[in-house]
Structure 1
């Protein structure tokens, strides 16, 4: 999703029901999963779960399917193993796939590393842009900008929460009951969302998905839209003090957008490098297993059974699951990265999903 934010194009004149819908949906759920309507199981498998654990689970699934299927079709499989060199053919193909996968992984690593290299002028510009953003953030939050990514995002979120409380106080004496009601609902939702994100960010180290998850949970774009809507619909009832607080709150939320995108970009690079390293580590035992089975087991059949299952089924199933580990690891990492990228395609108040359209 694009942070469950909203399009800022004013279509209320064309659709009279949009205004009422916007008022009714000021408050939002505090997590991305609740807003998107995904199940806990799917969210854990695609995003929250350890990528190594997910890879292991996929390998066990393959192993179980092969054992279960091989037990029922063992006679056909035994004939093929002895006459058609099925085992040798399968694992010879796996050797080629492993080598190709490692080559692809090295290519990905080279692309990532190349983005960090460049002439002195480019590096100076990167540094200048970073320091400008940090200085502006320091002026906004009134304290030195934290160096830790999780603390950096947490500081901006806490600042937006403080401005939300100031906004609530600024309209407390307003004669407009509608304005007070909408601001109260909006600020309550923002404060609860900020508290939830703050708790998830506190003490977290960069490199874990929790930091990015908390950033995705804080749907700043939808809040920016609500500020614009409230300022437009209640312009006659808003005092100068309230208008200033709304502008300050909008500025803080707008700063959260590029900050989140920067942290997300660093996380993607971190994850892709970790993926490359882990695939290289797994490719060695996978290659050894495939080579061993091809050389010493291809064209033969193991005798005996264990737990009523032929040894040939046990060995080939385990070998295939092990040789599949690099590819399964790639699936688990790309599933998370692709999901995050899809849900953060747009920056700012735009809706790309149906969660709050």
Structure 2
């Protein structure tokens, strides 16, 4: 995925790879440092703190914002839960669809019973595509046209190398962590389907019936990867939104306590002196503002990854929704 995207490694680490609480910690420290820097650069904060009304206004706004954020997250949480509710007929159809999909995967991939763990299930599909690619390779004969054989070999190498890498990433991962979906994003099944269909149609006349049949089986396996990834992505989004709800609720309590304390009890005259060369009252305000904004930082950290994943997986199937550096060629029938 790093090779296909134009993002830097640091940007990808911020958006996807990093633990969300690490991002929360970095943003919180950054906000606090920025407040201290602004305070040190200008004497205005000390003057403003001489009037309690300005402090009350700031923290009253924070209280309103925190309560609004909690209400919003609880609403999102209810929507997630509502998707799991429904009459018996709907639940039965969901069960039937899941079992039918599993049966189709088992038939195509040669599995006796498909795994129940999402990471193992997706790894089984990836490894099935790798095995089928090797089967296609074994059916190629010396009579295959040079250009066709060279392109097919390159295509099969791409599948086996990518499948091996993704399979290694999935080993030992557990659902509920981003590693499962991250590995699934690294397997570019849509491009493989498109390239495979083009090769199949372009060289149909020079390939044997056995090769074409095995090639068709390979494409069938690749087609299962799209629905499987989208299904696990849906689960992951629901899981993350529930985790976000918990995190917002946990951080909202200290944020409200800090804000109410500053509104009800803060008096610059009762906090004299200096700490590390900085007015103590200003330092207390900076700490309280930082604590009061933690729920918003948590929301930002989680939504960054959810929105990034959603943007990169908008299309199901062979569609490229990113910059490719040029227009794609159109292949007409001769």
- The answer to whether the superposition gives a TM-score over 0.5 is yes
1:262 is matched with: 231
CA distance in 1, matches of 2:7, 2:161: 21
The counterpart of 2:76, out of the listed 93, 104, 108, is 108
Deviations 1:129-159 (A, max 9, x none): 0011111112222221000000000000000
1:228 lines up with 2:197 in the alignment: yes
Structure 1, unpaired ranges of 5+: 1-31
1:316 is matched with: 285
Helix, strand or coil: the match of 1:324? helix
1:165 is displaced (CA, Å) by 1.1
2:146 is matched with: 177
1:338 lines up with 2:334 in the alignment: no
Residues 1-357 of structure 1 mapped to structure 2, 5 A cutoff: 32-74=1-43, 76-83=44-51, 85-143=53-111, 144-297=113-266, 300=269, 302-355=271-324
Asked whether the 8 Å contact 2:46–2:279 carries over to 1, the reply is no
1:355 is displaced (CA, Å) by 3.5
- Residue-pair matches, total: 325
CA distance in 2, matches of 1:300, 1:113: 50
CA distance in 1, matches of 2:181, 2:213: 31
1:298 is displaced (CA, Å) by 5.1
CA distance in 2, matches of 1:301, 1:53: 36
Say what the alpha-carbon RMSD is for the aligned residues.
1.3
- Between 1 and 2, higher relative CO (CA 8 Å, sep ≥ 6) is seen in 1
- When normalised by structure 1's length, the TM-score is 0.88
Structure 2, unpaired ranges of 5+: 329-334
Deviations 1:93-132 (A, max 9, x none): 1011111111001100000000100001100110010011
Helix, strand or coil: the match of 1:111? helix
CA distance in 1, matches of 2:104, 2:319: 25
Higher alpha-carbon deviation: 291-300 or 279-288 = 291-300
Please identify runs of 4+ aligned residues in structure 1 that moved more than 4 A. Answer: 298-301
Deviations 1:218-270 (A, max 9, x none): 00000001111101111111110110111000000001110110000000000
CA distance in 2, matches of 1:177, 1:311: 79
1:309 is displaced (CA, Å) by 1.7
Asked whether the 8 Å contact 2:49–2:282 carries over to 1, the reply is no
1:175 is displaced (CA, Å) by 3.3
Q: 1:298 to 1:87 in 2, by over 3 A?
A: farther
Higher alpha-carbon deviation: 165-174 or 346-355 = 165-174
- When normalised by structure 2's length, the TM-score is 0.94
